[in-house]
Amino acid sequence: MSQAARTTQGRVIVRHHVSDDMLMSYAAGTLSEGWSIGVATHLPFCPDCRRRLAEFENIGGFFLECQDADNNAVSGWEDMKNRIERPDESGNTHVIRRDPLLPNPLLSYVEAAGGLRWRSLGRGASQMKIPTSDPGTVVRLLKIPAGKPVPEHSHRGCELTLVLAGSFGDSVSVFNRGDVELADDELTHQPKAAPGEDCICLAITEAPLRFTSRIVRLLQPLLGI
């Protein structure tokens, strides 16, 4: 996993994956909606994670056969599935179109929010917060201008960053389209978009970032990051 994802003849090769713990929770339906969006958006890029998920689902299915079903259980996976398959006013299931940038189910969330609408963060960077019913996470799209860094920061909790376009590098590695970086409160870094193409990422956080710069910290409540 020391190499970045790269594209071979149009096929994305992923080098940075979601963790086994996160995939197991996703397979069990216990992962909250925000994190589930990150996993589900990564899966179309990554046959390895799809294979591992299928293994966890098979194992979980065996144990579920030995237990009584809990009809009151509510999971992020079910919330996401209902959003994708929600019938329209005529009673027909809404068919989500394909998009070269936004895989499903992320596209369904963006469309439900009124489409892709960027809000400036200054210095060419932009974000779009994606509404969910999950109070424990913030889900957003981030656009970092080509060749530009984001301010140095650490984390109050966990952060999942999935590259949708372009690439970025930090003190850990380089991350290209389809790659996932999982960060925690032990990591301080300054991601920088690679030259030539803006980097667009899906980011899920469970708490506001902790910025090194005092000026950025003062602006943080206004920027919503």
pLDDT tens per residue across span 130-176? 999 999 999 999 999 999 998 888 888 899 999 999 999 998 899 99
Cα-based angle 36, 39, 41 (whole degrees, multiple of 5): 105
Q: Place 184 in a pLDDT band, splitting at 50, 70 and 90.
A: confident
Count CB neighbours of 174 within 10 A.
19
* Distance separating alpha carbons of residues 184 and 47, to the nearest angstrom: 25
pLDDT tier for residue 95 given thresholds of 50, 70 and 90:
very low
pLDDT for residue 96 is more than 70: no
Q: Which of 40, 1, 48, 80 is nearest to 160 (CA)?
A: 40
